[in-house]
Structure formats: structure tokens, C-alpha cells
Amino acid sequence: MAYRIEYFNSQVKKSIEKWPVGVLADFARIAELLLDFGPDLRMPHSRSLGRGLFELRPRGREGIGRAFYCYLKGRRIIVLHAFIKKTHATPTRDLKIARRRLKEIEDD
């Protein structure tokens, strides 16, 4: 049984759909790999951020995107938060949003 990707809410999906075309194309390619490999997908495409949180790492000529996600029972992957990076470091604010949403899902 394959994995399936879902979004925390429609706003997360919409924010990804607004990404620059090159970053969006790389996201689609990496998402396909994620569906096939699940938790076995590693760098440079995916990285663990600890405590059940992971990031997809798409890039294009126009910039770098990040999509934070987690795994749930039933081979579900939930994209919790996504953004285009403006600086080298991952903004603490974006990481906090993803961790808060992960906790929300775990508490359900």
C-alpha cells in the first residue's frame, strides 16, 4: 500500500500552489518520491527535524521552499506548513507553526 499526502488545511495547499514554477515543479517531483519511499526518503530531499517532524526541501532557480510534514497511521503524510525561504536559516516562527500543528494532530 502506498502513502498518501494530505494537507493540514486548504491554506497550506494554496500557499504551495502559489510557489514559483521551478520550486513548485521540484516539490511535485520530491512529493512523488515521498509517496514511493515514505520514511526512507532522506537528504537532500527530506530531513528529520526531530520529534516526528520532517521537512521537504524543494528548490528552483527562483528560490528555496520548505514544507514541514509528519506521518500518521494508515500511511498518511500530513503537510503541516509550507513557505518560501527568504534567509539561509529556517525561521523560528515557521518551525513553531509546524510544531504547534503537529501537536494539534497528535492530540486528536
What tens digit of pLDDT does each residue of 83-106 get? 999 888 999 999 999 999 999 999
Determine the Cα–Cα distance for residues 101 and 106; give it in Å rounded to an integer. 9
pLDDT digits (tens, 9 = 90+) for 23-60: 999 999 999 999 999 999 999 999 999 999 999 999 99
Please state, in angstroms and rounded to a whole number, the distance separating the CA atoms of residues 1 and 57: 25
What is the pTM (predicted TM-score) of this model? 0.95
Q: Which of 77, 79, 54, 62 is nearest to 19 (CA)?
A: 62
List, as own/partner pairs, every contact residues 50-55 make where C-beta atoms lie below 8 angstroms and the sequence separation is at least 24, other chains included: 51/99, 51/102, 52/102, 52/106, 53/80, 53/98, 53/99, 53/102, 55/90
pLDDT score for 91: 94
pLDDT for 108 equals 76
What distance in Å separates the CA atoms of residue 95 and residue 97, rounded to the nearest whole number?
Answer: 5
Domains with residue ranges and CATH for the chain: 4-107 (3.30.2310.20)
